Structure 1
Amino acid sequence: MSTVRAATLVAPHTLEVRGYPFPNELEPGAVLLRMLASGICGTDKHTFRGETGQYAGTDNERSTPFPIIQGHENVGVVDSIGPGGAWAQDGSPLRPGDRVVPAPNRACGHCHMCTRGFPYYLCRRLENYGNSLSCSRSPHLFGGWSEYLYLKPRTAVFRVPGELPDDVAVLTEIFAVTHSLERAAQLPSPAGLRPGGSIAVIGVGALGLAHAIKASLMGAGRIVAIDHSPRRLELASRLAGAETVHAHAGCAADVRDLCAGDGVDAVVNATGFPGSFAAAVEMVRDGGLVIEVGAFVDMGDEVFNPAVLCGRNLTMLGIGGEDLLVYERTLALLARHHRVIPFADMISHRFAIRDAPAAMQMALDVERSAKVLITPA
């Protein structure tokens, strides 16, 4: 192969299929993956629309560079490895033919945040596949909407259990973000989420749905899903046993009514759009927990009175992304339950790379789609 096809976001609203040189020579420690599948994430849709501000309020605040090959929810097969070899995160050497999920982020490992053991998203020199690495620079293939993905040295790579289908393995990154609920379970009373407790999820696209499913697996007694899309609400009901509420201006009152007027113990806000944070605060009980996982892209300010935080004794938990420490157990969780819980039903459409523009249009249509995948063929 001399040319690699990849869907390239040249500028907002301009997605083209372009050819790039096949990387015959890899730097020491690099890994080249032959892609099997890559998901279209909510962040990808924001970027397509030109909503590119990320890591707002941090020293790492930035905007997505163009042109870029998107795709950070990836599963692929090791094609080749640079001199000196490379290792999976479990310490075993990688070999051509290994099926793996790569981490979408590459922390520097040397800044004061990294050396303190903080999560990757606090790294001061963070790189993100499909998100911050422009394809204008060789070797170009830094996103999963491509036939091949080039992984720089020291990128975390995780082996996929043999029994786990590709269509489920590609959801690993999304489910790894649900470490938010594990953190919630560790919070002291009156905050936190306990077995038998109640939780609402605002926005049950793939990320919100993953949180609803995880809450069910953790023993939540009541799960309430809020969304505009009947299709997504049906999935939440079927896959997570959730009660459903159609999103509207007064839906917080509907959720409180389900809980005898008190509100739910915890709310996960997974919409990524302004206005939903206020609804999350309104529907949580006094002393409860609000988890913000959807506002990765800066969509502007929301007005919030901090007196409410104190007066109601609320706990706020912001989640900047997944945690590398949870990938292996996330893969194990998916492998154990995929025959009982049809995780693959979260995927509504599959498109070849050549049809990436149509794939994006489908992903933007929340009434018709759930998780949309891009595959090499």
Structure 2
Amino acid sequence: MRSAPAAPLLPRRSKTADPEGRRTEERRTDVVLRPAAVAMAFIAPEQPHEPIAVPGVALAADDVLVAIEMSTICGSDVHTVHGRRSAPAPLVLGHESVGRVIAIGSAGVDAADGTPVRIGDRVVWSVTVSCGRCDRCTTGLTQKCRELGKYGHERIAPHRELTGGFASHAQLRRGTTIVRVPETLPAAVLAPASCATATAWAAVQRGAAGRDLSGMRVRVYGAGLVGLSAAAIAESQGAIVDVADPNPLRRAAAERFGAVSAEAIPAAVHPETVHPETVHPEPEIVIEASGHAVAQAAADVAVGGTVVLVGSVFPADPVPLDAESLVRRMITITGIHNYTGADLADAVSFLAVRGRAYPFAEVVGTVHPLVDLDAALRAASAPDAPLRVGIIPR
């Protein structure tokens, strides 16, 4: 499946609303795609995806059209296709992608660095779309915008089919953070930046709270890609990191992402692998990236420490907490869900420089063509699945 360059036609005018709700005219640009773009529509759990041909798009004045180079399958995509996560079907899943700009609306758009996006730019983009005006956006919670949109999470609508990563193209709209990425970094490194790496960056920064991490002890629960990325980010900033995970292969992988020996993981997690004399002192920061060790994370952290919850993004039983212990130890417990545009830009900068010291290029185990999306999702659902499975349009 090959996509030809977009062929812009004459702009047309359409009605829209300005921030005050007044009706205004907006220039839209019709872009014909030959051959047509293809999007894979999720219809219902455990059902095959259905391909949708999209012969063209109407770009709003500040829209950007991207030809996708690679997308990767996130755990949330797997949960959705197996019915463990609700979704407004039909929709195009996928929110971890890298691609190249092939068309831009008439008004133009700025990238995260403040310079104009150009045709030919290689980019990643935020999973969230934020208004930038509401009380949450203006106080820095753009990922919780009151008018929030999310790529890979929205129902297909007329002229709004290219809204997820499991497609040949993506139509990016106003309020999306767009970050240019180096030509020299592999797509397998860059695609997950839009979810796992940026989320991990946000978690580490929330835990650090402006402090220098040099010599600080950090514990990460969960050696999925978010946990491993958090380990690498923290270690690159001078922290001493250990990673807890029940899977011995994942624990071994953690060592390559900057964590100490798996034998130093707390005995409460997997006592069969631990010698008491090797257990680390209490960590000042604990990042819970698994969703299964919240109580343990709160019990582990040192006096005055911070627990960052990032893995609890699925329904689970309530977690009992010893409130007296939290008060007496003066513990901070905070949560991170998604990330800001600045986090995504910083995550890309990390991957481009210090991140090259870690094996991010190896996290994508297999790559499938877009037409074989269902087979790729089966591979991502297997017990021995790689950290990521890749999808390429061609």
TM-score normalised according to structure 1 size: 0.86
Distance 1:118 1:252, change over 3 A: farther
Match of 2:255 in 1: 237
Alpha carbons 1:231, 1:368 under 8 Å: kept: no
2:150 is aligned with 1:128: yes
Superposition CA RMSD, Å: 2.6
Could you tell me whether the CA contact under 8 Å between 1:235 and 1:346 is conserved in 2? no
Question: In the aligned structure 2, how far is the partner of 1:241 from the partner of 1:261?
Answer: 12
Alignment-derived partner of residue 55 in structure 1: none
Measure, in 1, the Cα distance between the counterparts of 2:328 and 2:50.
Answer: 54
Deviation at 1:338, TM superposition (A): 4.8
Shift of 1:121: 2.2
2:359 maps to 342
Partner of 2:293: 276
Alpha-carbon shift at residue 300 of structure 1 (Å) = 4.4
Residue identity matched to 2:366: H
Aligned partner of 2:243 in structure 1 is 225
Counterpart residue number, 2:325 = 308
Give the match's secondary structure for 1:105.
strand
Tell me the equivalent position of 1:98.
121
Query: Structure 1 residue 255: deviation in Å?
Result: 7.6
Q: Aligned letter for 1:214?
A: I
CA distance 1:29–1:203, change in 2 (3 Å): same
Match of 1:70 among 68, 93, 96: 93
Which residue does 2:74 correspond to in 1? 41
* Residue 232 (structure 2) pairs with residue 213 (structure 1): yes
User: Is residue 375 of structure 2 the alignment partner of residue 354 of structure 1?
Assistant: no
Displacement of 1:270 = 0.7
Q: What secondary structure is seen at the aligned counterpart in 2 of 1:103?
A: strand
Indicate how the Cα distance of structure 1 residues 301 and 15 shifts in structure 2: closer, same or farther if over 3 A, else same: farther
Aligned length: 358
1:210 maps to amino acid: S
8 A contact 1:29–1:85 mirrored in 2: yes
1:327 aligns with 2:350: no
CA contact (8 A) 2:263 2:278 kept: no
The Cα offsets for residues 66-97 of structure 1, whole Å up to 9 and x where unpaired, read as 11111111110011112222222222222221
Deviation per CA, 1:323-376: give whole Å up to 9, x if none: 211333322221113543221112222121112112112222242311222111
Contact 1:267–1:291 at 8 Å: present in 2 too? yes
- 1:26 alignment counterpart: 59
Structure 1 position 247, deviation (Å): 9.2
Instruction: Compute the displacement of 1:105 (Å).
Output: 0.6
SS at match of 1:104: strand
Provide the rounded CA distance (Å) in 1 between the counterparts of 2:279 and 2:247: 26
Which amino acid is the alignment partner of residue 258 of structure 2? A
Q: 2:173 & 2:280 partners in 1: Cα distance?
A: 52
1:180 corresponds to 2:180: no
1:246: how far off?
11
- 2-side partners of 1:360 and 1:246: how far apart? 34
1:10 counterpart = 2:10: no
Find the aligned partners of 2:132 and 2:275 in 1 and give their Cα distance: 44
The AA in structure 2 aligned to 1:47 is T
- SS of equivalent to 2:223: coil
Choose which of 263, 266, 281 in structure 1 pairs with 2:282.
263
- SS of residue paired to 2:295: helix
Distance 2:49 2:279 in 1: 52
Return the index of the structure with the highest Cα Rg: 2
One-letter amino acid of the structure 1 residue matched with residue 104 of structure 2: I
Q: Compared with structure 1, are the counterparts of its residues 317 and 4 closer, same or farther at alpha carbon in structure 2 (3 Å cutoff)?
A: same
Shift in alpha-carbon separation, 1:339–1:111, aligned structure 2, 3 A: closer
Structure 2: distance between partners of 1:50 and 1:300: 18
Letter in 2 for 1:66: A
Contact map agreement 1:227 1:245 (CA 8 A) in 2: no
SS in structure 1 at match of 2:60:
coil
| TM-aligned CA distance change 1:338 to 1:311, over 3 Å | closer
Q: Within the alignment, does 1:197 sit opposite 2:216 as a pair?
A: yes
SS of residue in 1 equivalent to 2:262? strand
